[in-house]
Amino acid sequence: MSALRELQCAVGRAVLGLDEASIVEAIHGDGLEPAARLAIYRHHYLTSLTEALKAIYPVVCRLVDERFFAYAARGFIDKAPPREPCLFEYGVAFPDFLAELPAAAAVVYLPDVARLEWAINAALHAPAEAPVSRADFAQVPMADYPRLIFRLQPSLSFLASHWAVDRIWQANRPENETVGRLDLDDGGCRLEIRQQDDAVVFRRLDAAEFDFRKAIADGKSLEAAAAGVLASDPAFDLAKALHRLMGEGLIAGFQLSSPDPIA
């Protein structure tokens, strides 16, 4: 490892609050104590990442207030420093961190609101792919349809919650003048989140449609996805569900699973 690389790694560790003593001697104070100069870098590091998290999770911030959000963000940053080069990629594990944070335990819906906000952020920055057309399926024999595995649009994700997090999010967006009313008796929701043109949209799905699309998104074959839904809802119309999925331009590609070996 080069001397420059070793120096950069040492500075990185010190900014993270690790092994500060090994780098202080290499810092030229220029009128300021080396430890104080390092503290400036660390403050900028924490402030930049906190602001990045606030930009991704604005409703979470509003629900708990700025001081608590800064406290939670600081704990998360210390536990999970960034590994990605772009700030909008940072914070995927923040909802799980909130779910384990004792100080946030009373705000039971907070982790799922955060999961919705991360899904919105991920959808906004996801690439869009050209959807397949019905003509693209002409090459697939009907007998092979059960083996179809679909690749859905990269921006597409699904979220099931015990809470009405879509309504909580809508009621507490930063542009709203007042904090919205929270009714925890509103029930849960099953949401589909995706990019549409230059915006991100989400909507509620019924249980069967949600389970079918989620299974497809998880890489299950058409046969396996349909079987799982039909086991709980025998009235589920597979043909119509597939027609809707294709008509909404959500299928970006497909392949056939390997055939079952002959016994």
65-101 tens-digit pLDDT: 999 999 999 999 989 988 887 888 999 999 999 999 9
The reported pLDDT for the residue numbered 86 is: 85
pLDDT in tens, 150-192: 999 999 999 999 999 999 999 999 888 766 667 777 789 999 9
Q: Which residues contact 123 (CB under 8 A, 6 or more apart)?
A: 155, 156, 157, 193, 194, 195, 200
The reported pLDDT for the residue numbered 1 is: 40
The neighbour count for residue 56, using CB atoms within 10 Å, is 23
Q: Which of 77-91, 114-128, 194-208 has the lowest mean pLDDT?
A: 77-91
Percent of the chain whose predicted confidence (pLDDT) is above 90:
66
For the cut 80, the answer to whether the pLDDT of residue 262 exceeds it is: no
CB–CB of 60/110 below 8 Å?
yes
Compute the mean pLDDT over every residue in the chain, rounded to the nearest whole number. Answer: 87
The reported pLDDT for the residue numbered 9 is: 55
CA 64 to chain centre: 20
**CATH number for region 131-263:** 3.90.930
pTM attached to this predicted model:
0.85
Locate the domains of the chain by residue range.
Answer: 131-263
